[in-house]
Amino acid sequence: GAVVSQHPSRVICKSGTSVKIECRSLDFQATTMFWYRQFPKQSLMLMATSNEGSKATYEQGVEKDKFLINHASLTLSTLTVTSAHPEDSSFYICSANVPGQGYGFFGQGTRLTVV
């Protein structure tokens, strides 16, 4: 079946640094991927839609300059949290649409801790 993989699964970074999270479609090409954020014991919140070869579409209230999204190939989207602060600590999850199988195939998530 379709697999979406995120890397790393966990990352700890120092406040003020930037961290990149990768989302890969392992056995299919994904022209569209999505990035979500999940706070502890809360629901998933859609952050942005990542479009291959074009700019990402951000949801209202999400800082574009803070959360940089790049979708340079049909199998990879990256989310870079720039100048991370402790309040950016969260669980980040990506999903992708699978041609012919539907959509909403999720990665395993990345736990970001900013210290």
Judged by the rule CB under 8 A, the positions of this chain that interact with other proteins are 32, 34, 36, 42-46, 49, 57, 93, 95-97, 102-109
The secondary structure element, H or E, covering residue 34 is strand 32-38
Q: Kindly state the smallest distance separating residue 65's Cβ from other proteins, in Å.
A: 22
Q: Kindly state the smallest distance separating residue 81's Cβ from other proteins, in Å.
A: 21
Residue 15 CB coordination number (10 Å): 12
Q: Helix, strand, or coil here: 87?
A: helix
Question: Quick one: 47 or 84, whose CB is closer to other proteins?
Answer: 47
Q: Which residues contact 41 (CB under 8 A, 6 or more apart)?
A: none
Q: Kindly state the smallest distance separating residue 10's Cβ from other proteins, in Å.
A: 13
Question: Quick one: 12 or 46, whose CB is closer to other proteins?
Answer: 46
Place of tokens 């990506």: 94
